């Protein structure tokens, strides 16, 4: 028996988004909408995946490959309805059960998909329905004796049918035995001359085949058609992600102020203070503290570390155990060993910082010359004095000490003092004479 296949329809133009970016590439939780859908498919245990994209949409195809490298890409050259879109991926129909999803419904859960496929044991088609607070504008699911008889669009619905509160969410599952024959027989006998996948219901009922319905919440099946709905979906996803993080043992002090990415990993006993943003690719290990107004992306934070407030961790940051990154410190492609610290007002980029090293206030690693980025290496226990500039490539060896205000352009040996600053001169009376000169001829107040 062939395994189930998922076909994700992602060829819509999304004109209501008022954007040059394709609708399915807009992001919530740090990921494109299409990536969330593909994650759901994967979570439901479906292996073969096909995605139907519009013509000249290599950007969408590339996003699909990033999220699901084995997915097959098909192009719907003309937009002639949902059934036409499914048949653009005709070669993906291998005889197994078929799930049809949409690239702009990112909140559907894997267990909902599994429930649809499980129901195919007794039905030729299973439709996902929901009960919105206001059904106006949605297609109604006309039921009789527990079977779906038809999906009636509102413009075609009778007054009695318009009172039905069970509506079509769009997702459909077809048994492998009937999928191809039902979809291929769909006609375009409508005013738009398009091929609608929902017409498969009438074809199935005409053959006395069973058509079942499974329900989900209105929030879960939310489709994204404009920026307002995108914001609503972001809020719904954030609520879901925060709840999952706290259930796993993280302590979000003010949950509504913390923004997570879909792939954020917070271990138990992590403390996250208010107004923290986690971009994609962040892992925080047990017992670490992320203080207020910090922004993390592409970073690994070790156990017991302390970050912020007002810290920025950029991609490639790797912090060991008990590292301290303080206020107004920025790191990028920097690795800190256990116990190292940069407590305030520093930039550390393209660097390796040894364990127990200290980065003083105002220190920067000068890692970019306008053409190339080079590396700074700071050894275990090294001390970098305040207001120092380390001009890469440079190595500060183990236990070395950099005098405050130095501009270091050469390697500093272990346990040595590196000093690179002009000699101080004190000119007696200069300030008094300068003030007298400047005030001469000025009118008195």
As given in the structure block, the two tokens for residue 253 are 């002090």
Asked whether 51 and 64 are in contact (CB, 8 A), the reply is yes
Rg (Cα) of the chain, in Å, rounded?
30
Rounded Cα gap, residues 348 and 362, in angstroms: 11
Cis-peptide into 309, omega within 30 deg? yes
Question: What angle in degrees, to the nearest 10, is found between the helix axes of 33-43 and 110-118?
Answer: 50
Of residues 84, 295, 300, 344, which has the active-site annotation? 344
Which stretches does DSSP call E strand in 250-380? Answer: 251-252, 265-266, 271-272, 277-278, 283-284, 289-290, 295-296, 299-301, 306-307, 312-313, 317-319, 324-336, 341-353, 358-359, 364-366, 376-378
Q: Cα-Cα-Cα-Cα dihedral of 385, 388, 393, 396, to 10°?
A: -10
Report which of 97, 132, 113 is spatially closest to residue 171, judged by C-alpha positions. 113
Burial of 223 (0-12, 13-18, 19+ CB in 10 A): middle
Report which of 185, 209, 2, 44 is spatially closest to residue 125, judged by C-alpha positions. 209
Q: Which residue has the tokens 């038809």?
A: 150
Rounded Cα gap, residues 149 and 142, in angstroms: 6
Residue 295 appears among annotated catalytic residues: no
Asked whether 100 and 197 are in contact (CB, 8 A), the reply is yes
Cβ atoms within 10 Å, residue 167 = 22
* Chain Cα centroid distance, residue 417: 46
CA atoms within 13 A on the CB side of 109: 13
CA atoms within 13 A on the CB side of 199: 17
Asked whether 402 and 418 are in contact (CB, 8 A), the reply is yes
| Catalytic residue ranges | 344
């Amino acid at each position: 028996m062939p395994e189930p296949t998922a076909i994700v329809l992602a060829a819509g133009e999304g004109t209501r988004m008022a954007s040059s970016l394709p609708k399915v590439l807009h992001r919530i939780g740090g990921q494109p909408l299409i990536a969330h859908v593909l994650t759901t498919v994967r979570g439901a245990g479906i292996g073969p995946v096909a995605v139907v994209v519009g013509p000249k949409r290599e950007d969408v195809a590339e996003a699909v490959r990033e999220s699901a490298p084995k997915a097959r890409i098909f192009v719907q050259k003309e937009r002639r309805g949902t059934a036409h879109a499914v048949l653009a991926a005709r070669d993906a129909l291998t005889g197994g059960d078929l799930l049809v999803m949409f690239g702009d419904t990112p909140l559907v859960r894997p267990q909902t998909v599994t429930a649809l496929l499980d129901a195919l044991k007794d039905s030729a088609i299973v439709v996902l329905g929901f009960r919105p607070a206001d059904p106006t504008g949605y297609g109604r699911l006309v039921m009789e004796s527990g079977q779906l008889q038809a999906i009636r669009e509102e413009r075609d619905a009778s007054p009695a049918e318009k009172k039905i509160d069970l509506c079509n969410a769009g997702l459909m599952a077809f048994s492998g035995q009937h999928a191809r024959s039902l979809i291929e027989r769909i006609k375009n006998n409508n005013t738009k001359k398009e091929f609608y996948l929902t017409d498969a219901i009438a074809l199935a009922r005409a053959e006395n085949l069973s058509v079942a319905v499974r329900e989900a919440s209105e929030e879960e099946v939310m489709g994204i058609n404009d920026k307002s709905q995108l914001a609503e979906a972001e809020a719904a996803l954030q609520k879901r992600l925060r709840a999952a993080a706290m259930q796993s043992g993280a302590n979000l002090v003010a949950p509504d102020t913390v923004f997570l990415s879909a792939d954020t990993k917070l271990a138990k006993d992590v403390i996250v203070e208010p107004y923290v943003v986690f971009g994609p690719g962040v892992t925080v290990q047990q017992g670490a503290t992320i203080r207020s107004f910090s922004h993390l992306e592409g970073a690994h934070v070790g156990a017991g570390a302390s970050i912020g407030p007002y810290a920025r961790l950029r991609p490639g940051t790797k912090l060991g155990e008990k590292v301290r990154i303080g206020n107004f410190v920025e790191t990028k492609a920097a690795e800190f060993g256990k116990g190292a610290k940069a407590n305030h007002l520093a930039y550390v980029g393209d660097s390796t910082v040894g364990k127990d090293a200290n980065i003083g206030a105002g220190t920067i690693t000068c890692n970019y010359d306008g053409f190339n980025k080079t590396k700074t290496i700071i050894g275990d226990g090294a001390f970098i004095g305040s207001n120092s500039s380390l001009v890469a490539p440079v190595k500060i060896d183990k236990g070395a000490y950099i005098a405050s205000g130095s501009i270091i352009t050469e390697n500093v040996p272990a346990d040595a003092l590196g000093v690179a600053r002009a000699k101080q001169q004190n000119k007696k009376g200069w300030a008094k004479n300068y003030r007298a000169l400047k005030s001469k001829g000025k009118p008195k107040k």
